[in-house]
Structure 1
Amino acid sequence: MALLTTPRSAVRLASEGRPLREHLFKAALVVSVAIALGFLVVLIVYMVTKGWPRLDARLWENQPSIRRPEIAGAQSAIVGTLWLIGLTALIALPTGVLAAVYLEEYADRTRWYNRVIELNIQNLAAIPSIVYGILGLGIIARVLGLGFGVLTGAMTLSLLVLPIVIIASREAIRAVPTSIREGSFALGATQWQTVSRQVLPAAVPGIATGSILALSRAIGEAAPLIMLGAATFVPFNPEGLFDRFSALPIQIYFWITQSREEFHVLAAAAIVVLLAILLVMNSVAVWLRNRYQRRW
Structure 2
Amino acid sequence: MTAPVLQKPAPASGRSPLAGPRWRPGESLFRWVLLACLALGIVFLVSLMSYILVEAWPRLDSRLWENFPSIRRPENAGAQSAIFGTIWVISFTALFCLPTGIMAAIYLEEYADSNRWYNRLIELNIQNLAAVPSIIYGILGLGLLARQFGLGTTVLTAALTLSLLVLPVVIISSREAIRAVPQSIRHASLALGATQWQTIWRQVLPAAVPGMATGAILALSRAIGEAAPVIMLGAVTFVMFNPEGLQSEYTVLPVQIYNWISQSRTEFHHLAAAAIILLLGLLLLMNAAAIWLRNRYSRRW
Same fold (TM over 0.5): yes
Q: Distance in 1 between matches of 2:140 and 2:261?
A: 27
Task: Give, in angstroms, the shift of residue 187 of structure 1.
Answer: 1.0
CA contact (8 A) 1:202 1:294 kept: no
User: In the TM superposition, what are the counterparts of 1:52-67 in structure 2 within 5 Å?
Assistant: 52-67=57-72
Q: 2:54 aligns with which of 27, 49, 52?
A: 49
Q: 2:132 is matched with which residue?
A: 127
Deviation per CA, 1:260-294, whole angstroms, max 9, x where unpaired?
11111110111111111112222333333333226
Q: 2:22 is matched with which residue?
A: 16
Moved more, 19-28 or 224-233: 19-28
Pick closer, same or farther for the CA change 1:232–1:197 going to 2, 3 Å.
same
Moved more, 19-28 or 42-51: 19-28
Pick closer, same or farther for the CA change 1:109–1:9 going to 2, 3 Å.
farther
Task: Give, in angstroms, the shift of residue 23 of structure 1.
Answer: 3.4
Q: 2:274 is matched with which residue?
A: 269
Deviation per CA, 1:74-110, whole angstroms, max 9, x where unpaired?
0000000000110000000000000000000000000
CA contact (8 A) 2:206 2:297 kept: no
Deviation per CA, 1:123-156, whole angstroms, max 9, x where unpaired?
1111110000001001111111111100100000
Letter in 1 for 2:228: A
Q: Which runs of 5+ in 1 are unaligned?
A: none
In the alignment, is residue 178 of structure 1 matched against residue 159 of structure 2? Answer: no
**Which structure shows the higher helix fraction?**
1
User: In the TM superposition, what are the counterparts of 1:92-103 in structure 2 within 5 Å?
Assistant: 92-103=97-108
Q: 1:240 aligns with which of 237, 245, 248?
A: 245
CA contact (8 A) 1:230 1:247 kept: yes
CA contact (8 A) 2:114 2:120 kept: yes
TM-score when normalising by structure 1: 0.93
For residue 286 of structure 1, give the secondary structure of its aligned residue in structure 2: helix
Task: Give, in angstroms, the shift of residue 184 of structure 1.
Answer: 0.9
Q: Distance in 2 between matches of 1:13 and 1:141?
A: 71
- Larger Rg, first or second structure (1 or 2): 2
TM-score when normalising by structure 2: 0.91
For residue 172 of structure 1, give the secondary structure of its aligned residue in structure 2: helix
Q: Distance in 2 between matches of 1:270 and 1:199?
A: 40
Task: Give, in angstroms, the shift of residue 43 of structure 1.
Answer: 1.6
CA contact (8 A) 1:231 1:245 kept: yes
Task: Give, in angstroms, the shift of residue 33 of structure 1.
Answer: 2.6
Q: CA RMSD in A?
A: 2.3
Q: 1:252 is matched with which residue?
A: 257
Q: 2:233 is matched with which residue?
A: 228
Identity %: 67
Moved more, 207-216 or 277-286: 277-286
Pick closer, same or farther for the CA change 1:23–1:258 going to 2, 3 Å.
same
Letter in 1 for 2:150: G
Residue correspondences, number: 293
Q: 1:75 is matched with which residue?
A: 80
For residue 15 of structure 1, give the secondary structure of its aligned residue in structure 2: coil
Q: Which runs of 5+ in 2 are unaligned?
A: 1-10
